[in-house]
Amino acid sequence: MSLESEIKKRRTFAIISHPDAGKTTLTEKLLLFGGAIHVAGAVKSNKIRKTATSDWMEIEKQRGISVATSVMGFEYRDYKINILDTPGHQDFAEDTFRTLTAVDSVIIVVDSAKGVETQTRKLMNVCRMRNTPIMVFVNKLDREGRDPFDLMDELESELGISVRPLSWPISKGETFKGVYNLYKENLQLYTPNKQIISQSVEIDVESPELDEKVGDKNAAQLREDMELIHGVYEDFDKELYLEGLLAPVFFGSALNNFGVKELLDCFVEIAPSPRPVQAIERTVVPNENNFSGFVFKIHANMDPNHRSCIAFVKICSGKFERNVNYKHIRHGKMMRFSSPTAFMAQKKETVDEAYAGDIIGLPDTGNFKIGDTLTGGEELHFKGLPSFSPEMFMYLENADPMKAKQLEKGVNQLMDEGVAQLFVNQYNNRKIIGTVGQLQFEVIQYRLLHEYNAQCRWEPISLYKACWIESDDMQELENFKKRKMQFMAKDKEGRDVFLADSNYVLQMAQNDFKSIKFHFTSEF
Question: What residue ranges bind ligand G4P (CB under 6 A)?
Answer: 17, 19-25, 46-47, 50, 88, 139-140, 142-143, 253-256
Of 269, 242, 290, 265, the closest CA to residue 8 belongs to 269
Instruction: State how far the Cα of 132 lies from the Cα of 16, in Å rounded to an integer.
Output: 13
Q: Which is nearer to ligand G4P, 264 or 466 (CB)?
A: 264
Task: Output the CA torsion sign for 102, 105, 108, 109.
Answer: negative
Q: CB of residue 140 vs ligand G4P: minimum separation in angstroms?
A: 4
Q: Which is nearer to ligand G4P, 70 or 253 (CB)?
A: 253
Q: CB of residue 15 vs ligand G4P: minimum separation in angstroms?
A: 8
Of 126, 481, 107, 115, the closest CA to residue 267 belongs to 107
Q: Which is nearer to ligand G4P, 141 or 203 (CB)?
A: 141
Q: Which is nearer to ligand G4P, 181 or 406 (CB)?
A: 181
Instruction: State how far the Cα of 152 lies from the Cα of 147, in Å rounded to an integer.
Output: 9
Q: CB of residue 38 vs ligand G4P: minimum separation in angstroms?
A: 18
How far, in whole angstroms, is CA 448 from its chain's centroid? 27
Q: Which is nearer to ligand G4P, 142 or 451 (CB)?
A: 142
Q: CB of residue 97 vs ligand G4P: minimum separation in angstroms?
A: 18
Q: CB of residue 24 vs ligand G4P: minimum separation in angstroms?
A: 3
Task: Collect all residues with Cβ–Cβ distance below 8 Å to 491 and sequence separation of at least 6.
Answer: 387, 421, 422, 423, 466, 468, 497, 522
> Cβ(387)–Cβ(521) under 8 Å?
yes
Name the DSSP letter for residue 175: G
Q: How far apart are the first and last CA of the chain?
A: 39
> Cβ(180)–Cβ(240) under 8 Å?
no
3-state secondary structure of 475: helix
Enclosing H/E stretch for 510: helix 503-512
Q: CB of residue 100 vs ligand G4P: minimum separation in angstroms?
A: 16
Q: Which is nearer to ligand G4P, 45 or 522 (CB)?
A: 45
Report the 3 state secondary structure along 138-160: EECCCCCCCCHHHHHHHHHHHHC
Q: Which is nearer to ligand G4P, 253 or 292 (CB)?
A: 253
User: Helix, strand, coil: what percent of the chain each, to 5?
Assistant: 30, 30, 40
Burial class (CB in 10 A: 0-12, 13-18, 19+), 200: middle
Q: Which is nearer to ligand G4P, 21 or 152 (CB)?
A: 21
Q: CB of residue 199 vs ligand G4P: minimum separation in angstroms?
A: 18
Name the DSSP letter for residue 34: T
Q: CB of residue 253 vs ligand G4P: minimum separation in angstroms?
A: 3
Q: CB of residue 396 vs ligand G4P: minimum separation in angstroms?
A: 32
Q: CB of residue 112 vs ligand G4P: minimum separation in angstroms?
A: 9
Instruction: State how far the Cα of 206 lies from the Cα of 438, in Å rounded to an integer.
Output: 56
Alpha-carbon Rg for the chain, nearest whole angstrom, is 25
Enclosing H/E stretch for 291: none
Q: Which is nearer to ligand G4P, 253 or 413 (CB)?
A: 253
Query: What is the β-pairing status of strands 488-490 and 465-471?
Result: unpaired
Of 99, 507, 26, 91, the closest CA to residue 267 belongs to 26
Q: CB of residue 193 vs ligand G4P: minimum separation in angstroms?
A: 12
Instruction: State how far the Cα of 344 lies from the Cα of 348, in Å rounded to an integer.
Output: 6
Indicate the residue type of 45: S
Q: Which is nearer to ligand G4P, 22 or 148 (CB)?
A: 22
Q: CB of residue 483 vs ligand G4P: minimum separation in angstroms?
A: 46
Q: Which is nearer to ligand G4P, 65 or 220 (CB)?
A: 65
Report the 3 state secondary structure along 87-104: CCCHHHHHHHHHHHCCCC
Q: Which is nearer to ligand G4P, 132 or 256 (CB)?
A: 256
> Cβ(133)–Cβ(272) under 8 Å?
yes
